[in-house]
Amino acid sequence: MAKSGSEMAAPPLLDVRNIHKQFPGVKALDGVELQIQRGEVHALLGENGAGKSTLLKILSGAQRADQGEATFDGAALNPAHTPRERQRLGLITIYQEFNLLPFMSIAENLYLGREPMRRGFIDWAAMHDNARTLLASIGLSVDPRREVRHLSVAHQQMVEIGRAVAQQAKLIVMDEPTAALSGREVEILHAVIRDLQARGVSFIYVTHRLDEVKMVCDSFTVLRDGRYVARGEVKGVEIRELINLMVGRDVEFARLPRTVAPGETVLAVKGISRAGDSGGRHAMPLKDLSIEVKAGEILGFAGLVGAGRTELARVIFGADRCDGGVISIHGRDMRPLRSPKEAIRAGFALVPEDRKQQGCFLEQSISQNMTLPSLKRIARWGIFVNEGRERQMVEEYQTVLRIKMANSGVAIGTLSGGNQQKVLLARCMALKPKVLIVDEPTRGIDIGAKAEVHQLLCDMAQSGMALIVISSEMSEVLALSDRIVVFREGCITGVLDARSATEKKLMALMAIPGPAEPLEAAV
Amino acid sequence: MSGFDLVGWLRRYGTSLFLVALIIFFGAENSRFLSIRNVTNILTEVSIYGIIAVGMTFVILTGGVDLAVGSLLAFAGMAGAYVMQTLGIDHSWSWLVAISTATLVGAAVGYLQGKAVTLFSIPPFIVTLGGMTIWRGATLILNDGSPIAGFDANYRWWGTGSILGVPVPVVFFGAVVAAGFVTQRYTRYGRYIYAVGGNPEAARLNGLDVPRIITSVYLMVGALAGLAGFLLSARLGAAEAVGGVGYELRVIASVVIGGASLAGGRGGIGGTIIGALLIGVLTNGLVIMHVSSYWQQIVIGLIIVAAVAFDTYAKSHR
């Protein structure tokens, strides 16, 4: 009794009730509630389209709820607040795409708009001292005068967190904070979160990676289809149960059965190498990489981000240059392709790593997105788009891939991540490629759609296509692949048969050997 | 269900509505405004820069801009007249020399600027800012700063004649708009332009030859500027070194008032025509109402800012 009494005595830091938000044609939020206690890390869970992003935008002040009330730190939140006013209250949101100014120094970013002043001028000495202290307090020892653009993604994220701390954050909202981090960097981030938590800061932690929820979160709230579903303590809850709450049904992440045995070798890549340019986009050198893919086979690429998986795939597709090597298609040797245009003509297709930056034309329609590289094949006299055949094509793939959309004329940016990914897959299927490369097939899409995408990839392999699938999720590589190529620091460290491979074996080949480095160096 | 979306509707039709309102207002204020003679006048005026604005729409759709079109118009027009004069002005086909020279010179210069943008990755703003003064200077050098005049009737017909009562430049404008619209709406090339402007990296990964597409839009706007230069010289009876000064701003304003985004990927020929007409009607109407030309500039500037401000407002209130 006494315990429940003390719980009642401590009002939550953030208390959001009955939030509604309507977008044209969609009810994004329908009576959502969320309570965050002081000093806790709270997981906000739900599939894509469940309403998490909308809720975050309303909390940060970027959007206004149609209805509902919220209190923060004991006072009602004014719905008309701007993001800046919310930040001043200590409610700070860190988005996936950071809000840092790349050409300014770390210190300038940390104290933007709140620069320490002396007689009306910026006190640079004080600013750099404060910045150094602040960075040290979150375990980052870099020179605060460095420009942000020279930092790694993980370091930039630390600067964002540092900025939140500098603004006396009471609640830090993090949207998919580990999407672009390697395993080691994730650990460091979690250490910083725990440290700040011990100093009384609360977190809302949005993620698709449920193992991280178990690692770092205290409690959770689940949304589904814009509605509040459940909340609870993380301790004692199984990941399975969380998934059930998110999708409302059981989803197995099992190895999909394959009935067709791989056929002849479609693609052989021999001795691809490239010198690294330090600090540039191709920092990691590629060292004598050779692979083979057979018809009807899924070849998995595993490895940490930057280990060479995506880099090799882009070289094969002609998107990046290499210094030497040979590729052969159906036994015919040729020099590495020099542009994606050549690659598509040679029978390749690529679903790129970053859906928004490299895949979608967000403002353009679904059908325009889907048919762009195939227009040549459905054009009259090579010039005019045959809209009848285009419509047919879109309808065909919409049915095959079960793409959920109002009509094919709406902008692709309005679709959920899973449906966007299906449109990009359809775009590649329409090219009828011999070799399909899919980089991160299910990044940032919900679990239901994941299973569907996995099934599609298997079906494509069954139909005789050769597939290369790159993924940071080991369970995904294991479930999909026939064979797995493991990359580490620009080298191939092993090729495993997927049926006998385990996460442990993969990890052993992926991990950088040597004595554990100090946290600092690895960030 | 949500009710009538006024902001969205205004975003879509607001400019057209404003154009109609202006026409009604000027028509009511002064009966001369809607006279055949004046309407013809407005349309001819609009046609000259409207032709360039069609090309500029494609440039802006790719995320670029061309500040050199005003100077290029003068240079190409002058080059056409110069070549014609050198070959002898008195042939019945003299105009043909002028129109082809002007268009080809425009296309060549456009190609050059496009290559500078794609080959050396110089921002189009810089390349064409340079081009703006380079081609103006070249025009002055070509004929020592003096105009070339004394064209024959065949030549003048292209600027002052009419086909079935429609002024020849307006017929040209109509043809260019039609071609532009078909390109934008029905061709592969049109789709590629939107793709390149919407997301250049994704366009490249989809097998598009991005530098070639970008070069082509500068070539196109250059050719159209050359054509407009010929038409303007035929209308005025002289190719002048100061021809088309400030046209680049009028052309870009037409495209932007028409709803195109300077970041690329959004906009279209339809909006551009409304934008061009809006500027033409406003300029003419204010003259008829005896508003000084100093004030005209202020009004047009305010409208550009207001149009874009409203668009931004509408976008943020979705």
Nearest 5°: the CA angle B316, A60, A413 is 45
pTM of the complete model: 0.76
Domain-embedded: residue B271: no
Using CB atoms and an 8 Å cut-off, which of residues 205-234 of chain B contact chain A? 205-209
Nearest 5°: the CA angle B101, B103, B107 is 115
Interface predicted TM-score (ipTM) over 0.95 = no
pLDDT at A410: 85
Chain A contacts of B202, Cβ < 8 Å? 352, 357-361
pLDDT above 80 (res A10): no
One-letter amino acid identity for B147?
A: P
Nearest 5°: the CA angle A494, A499, A502 is 60
Quote the domain boundaries for residue B46: 19-250
Q: Which of A246-250, A341-345, B87-91 has the lowest mean pLDDT?
A: A246-250
Size of interface A-B (CB pairs under 8 A): 83
* Of A486, A459, A461, A458, the residue nearest A472 (C-alpha): A486
Kindly report the backbone phi and psi dihedral angles of residue A299, in degrees, each rounded to the nearest multiple of 5, phi listed first.
Answer: -100, 120
pLDDT at A251: 47
Other CB atoms within a 10 A radius of the CB of residue A243 amount to 21
Contact A446, A48 (CB under 8 A): yes
Q: CA of B289, closest CA in chain A: separation in Å?
A: 42
SS3 A257: coil
Domain-embedded: residue B183: yes
In chain B, the number of structural domains is 1
Domain-embedded: residue B161: yes
Q: Which of A26-35, A256-265, A348-357 has the lowest mean pLDDT?
A: A256-265
Top residue of A82, A364, A369, A386 to mutate, by most chain B CBs within 10 Å, is A364
Query: Rounded CA gap, A393 and B135, in Å?
Result: 48
Kindly report the backbone phi and psi dihedral angles of residue B292, in degrees, each rounded to the nearest multiple of 5, phi listed first.
Answer: -65, 150
pLDDT at A157: 86
The band of B89, judged by pLDDT with boundaries at 50, 70 and 90, is low
One-letter amino acid identity for B307?
A: A
Query: Rounded CA gap, B48 and B54, in Å?
Result: 11
What average pLDDT does the segment B65-70 reach? 94
The band of B79, judged by pLDDT with boundaries at 50, 70 and 90, is very high
Residue A24 tokens read as 């044209």
Burial of A39 (0-12, 13-18, 19+ CB in 10 A): middle
**Residue in A341, A359, A383 closest to B188 by CB:** A383
pLDDT digits (tens, 9 = 90+) for B168-217: 999 999 999 999 999 999 999 999 999 999 999 999 999 999 999 999 99
pLDDT at A250: 47
Contact A39, A172 (CB under 8 A): no
Structural domains in chain A? 11-247 (3.40.50.300), 263-347+433-512 (3.40.50.300), 360-432 (no CATH)
Contact A363, A421 (CB under 8 A): no
Domain-embedded: residue B115: yes
Assign residue B244 a region: left if phi > 0, alpha if psi is -120 to 50, beta otherwise? left
Domain-embedded: residue B285: no
Domain-embedded: residue B47: yes
pLDDT at A515: 38
pLDDT above 90 (res A217): yes
pLDDT above 70 (res A520): no
Average pLDDT, chain B: 89
What average pLDDT does the segment A235-249 reach? 78
Domain-embedded: residue B37: yes
pLDDT digits (tens, 9 = 90+) for B245-260: 889 999 999 998 888 8
Cα A434 to chain centroid distance, Å, stands at 28
Burial of A515 (0-12, 13-18, 19+ CB in 10 A): exposed
Residues recorded for chain B: 318
Contacts of B279 (CB under 8 A, 6+ apart): B46, B250, B253, B254, B257, B300
Query: Rounded CA gap, A341 and A360, in Å?
Result: 17
The string of DSSP letters for A187-240 reads HHHHHHHHHHHHTT-EEEEE-S-HHHHHHH-SEEEEEETTEEEEEEESTT--HH
**Residue in A341, A352, A384 closest to B207 by CB:** A341
Name the closest residue on chain B to residue A339, using Cα atoms.
Answer: B207
Q: Do B5 and A24 touch (CB under 8 A)?
A: yes
Top residue of A361, A390, A427 to mutate, by most chain B CBs within 10 Å, is A361
pLDDT above 60 (res B223): yes
pLDDT digits (tens, 9 = 90+) for A296-342: 899 999 887 678 888 899 999 988 888 888 899 888 888 888 899 99
Query: Rounded CA gap, A413 and B265, in Å?
Result: 14
pLDDT digits (tens, 9 = 90+) for B38-67: 899 899 999 999 999 999 999 999 999 999
**Per-residue CA distances from A70 to A20, A42, A65, A337 (Å):** 12, 17, 10, 56
The band of A48, judged by pLDDT with boundaries at 50, 70 and 90, is low
Domain-embedded: residue B27: yes
Average pLDDT, chain A: 84
Kindly report the backbone phi and psi dihedral angles of residue B271, in degrees, each rounded to the nearest multiple of 5, phi listed first.
Answer: -60, -40
CA atoms within 13 A on the CB side of B170: 16
Spell out a b/e string for A496-513, using b for 16 or more CB atoms within 10 Å of the CB, else e. bebeebeeebbeebbeee
